[in-house]
Structure 1
């Protein structure tokens, strides 16, 4: 059942506490980041139920007892640790912050890619531009800049992007190849993760990746390293330039976590150009994490938070969409949804689209 937020029924006292958590949210985030960065949570975890003192932690981490004291006192208030007579012990939230892959991926993405730029969120919302991107350089959008981001930011960006797509691949591949594609055009294929997965899955598939030249250079090298360069082709383009054509006549077109990178008017243009390139026998697969189709409050929270990355860092005008918004755009572009599958991967939806008769 898709997740929908209902009015809160917590008490006024607890709601006031939640408001204070929001007010001090940036501090809480940085405390969590530092407890992880300096291996404090890891050291506490290693100590298990016997606990570990701040004095002992000062010997096994680079932090002083003072630094550990202020971090761990806040960690107590955040529910990351608890304390008994023999020292600090990891609490449940701290356990998942330390051991859950998704939490680590999300935290590093926010820290390395978004955090400094989020100070310009108000400007980004007023101007409709990625105002926070200036912390990395002079670009209008993040996409052509990816190869030139600082190493940690680039690593965290790609880890975030690939984590969510890769978890869906095992379920997506058989659904797509059940329709026997022979030539798949990967629109916005980035560094070729999906293209290479297709080549691994089917020895006969031909894939053409459409994207910026910088991403295609990396994709080509990845295809060579995988030994499938003969079946992976590239088509360099600016997908925002509506005067440039798409690869036409393919039997299958693919967009994975791609359309959320654009505004509604840009999405409509991309879908219209895709439809123009398709034949009556072509199919278009779209994979998205729609916020209204998430299976839990936690996943909806993450998806909606990601919208603000698009606002301040990526381009200033895109977001994670409600499914009805995209369905309406598909209809305007002359397409209809032939198959609709939810709850794939980490809250992904797969739409199989065809040209309207």
Structure 2
């Protein structure tokens, strides 16, 4: 994907305008969010070609005409709306904010999880720690405390995480089960959605979820509610401890949207210990979104923006990686890529890995 290999073809006049958009970006973000939250864009959308006047909008919202007008005027400047005499109609960008699920998920994630903490991005870059996380609590990283986040924050975090992974499930399950694994080790299984998808796909497979105590509690409860507690088990662990051994006897080790949560040094340690747990017939499947493998520039933009969440909010030293960086780490860990599949789901890449013969 040939992004960013040459200067943008844009006039100086337009480039200056784009610079002003960046300067006011936090304001435009909140305007778009409020236009959605108060139902203004949706109301205009349902009016179709007729459009809405300020009076029409005022009748159906709790806002004053002043509040509506300042939002509407900025919405016009942002290209969300256009005006025909005294009526307002939805433009294409506004349409996608209303109708596109990805835009909604991303917007809620940025507002609820990231927005306040992004004020501390500068300090996070300097100190290598997620300084923005302090808006939620006095924690070193976000991962052990996901279950303790405020309800709305937690909701938006999981909706963001699951939106991208869930879109890949349909393509992934046949690929994962083509070798008919009897025992899958789900490393960093979170709420257990992948484990439950596997048990629903194959009535015989057993899944062991390796994760922190808080996440395991949620995952195992979900397995019990689905009636598969006899096939889904937990392996409590802290993967950042060098002495932490991996669950043995896995036919397939699974890591989905997981390795991006760690620094390169930590990834190498995790992959090395995974390789040590694998037999000659085991395989490791890694599912990630690499910014250089995105089929569209919008995907690369979203992936690179997510790296900044890791910097300021998650742990301060991880990111969404370039695929070459991951391939290098896989090789250093004593593994090789047996199959490399792009464009799964929403820009995911699946790397199927095995141990190098010299490591057996």
TM-score range, shorter chain: over 0.9
Runs of 4+ in 1 over 3 A off after TM superposition: none
Please report how far the alpha carbon of residue 249 of structure 1 lies from its aligned counterpart in structure 2 after TM superposition: 2.2
Alpha carbons 2:183, 2:249 under 8 Å: kept: no
The aligned counterpart of 2:122 is 122
The aligned counterpart of 1:55 is 55
Give the CA RMSD over aligned residues. 0.7
Please report how far the alpha carbon of residue 86 of structure 1 lies from its aligned counterpart in structure 2 after TM superposition: 4.3
The aligned counterpart of 2:197 is 197
Please report how far the alpha carbon of residue 5 of structure 1 lies from its aligned counterpart in structure 2 after TM superposition: 1.8
* Aligned equivalents of 1:182, 1:3: Cα separation in 2: 40
* Aligned equivalents of 1:3, 1:233: Cα separation in 2: 43
Alpha carbons 1:3, 1:294 under 8 Å: kept: no
* Aligned equivalents of 1:19, 1:124: Cα separation in 2: 24
The aligned counterpart of 2:34 is 34
Q: 5+ unaligned residues in a row in structure 1: which ranges? A: none
Query: Which deviates the most, 118-127 or 82-91?
Result: 82-91
The aligned counterpart of 1:4 is 3
Task: Using structure 1 for the length normalisation, give the TM-score.
Answer: 0.99
* Aligned equivalents of 1:132, 1:305: Cα separation in 2: 15
Q: SS where residue 47 of structure 2 aligns? A: helix
The aligned counterpart of 1:187 is 187
Deviations 1:106-153 (A, max 9, x none): 000000000000000000000000100000001100011110101110
* Aligned equivalents of 1:214, 1:100: Cα separation in 2: 32
The aligned counterpart of 1:20 is 20
* Aligned equivalents of 2:147, 2:80: Cα separation in 1: 35
Deviations 1:202-259 (A, max 9, x none): 0110100000111111111110111111000100111111111110121110000000
Q: SS where residue 178 of structure 1 aligns? A: helix
The aligned counterpart of 2:245 is 245
The aligned counterpart of 2:300 is 300
The aligned counterpart of 1:216 is 216
* Aligned equivalents of 2:307, 2:76: Cα separation in 1: 30
The aligned counterpart of 2:271 is 271
* Aligned equivalents of 1:20, 1:86: Cα separation in 2: 28
* Aligned equivalents of 1:179, 1:80: Cα separation in 2: 49
Alpha carbons 2:113, 2:157 under 8 Å: kept: yes
Q: SS where residue 138 of structure 2 aligns? A: coil
The aligned counterpart of 2:228 is 228
Alpha carbons 1:3, 1:300 under 8 Å: kept: no
* Aligned equivalents of 2:73, 2:198: Cα separation in 1: 50
Please report how far the alpha carbon of residue 180 of structure 1 lies from its aligned counterpart in structure 2 after TM superposition: 1.3
* Aligned equivalents of 1:129, 1:154: Cα separation in 2: 21
The aligned counterpart of 2:102 is 102
Please report how far the alpha carbon of residue 47 of structure 1 lies from its aligned counterpart in structure 2 after TM superposition: 1.4
Number of residue equivalences: 356
* Aligned equivalents of 2:150, 2:251: Cα separation in 1: 39
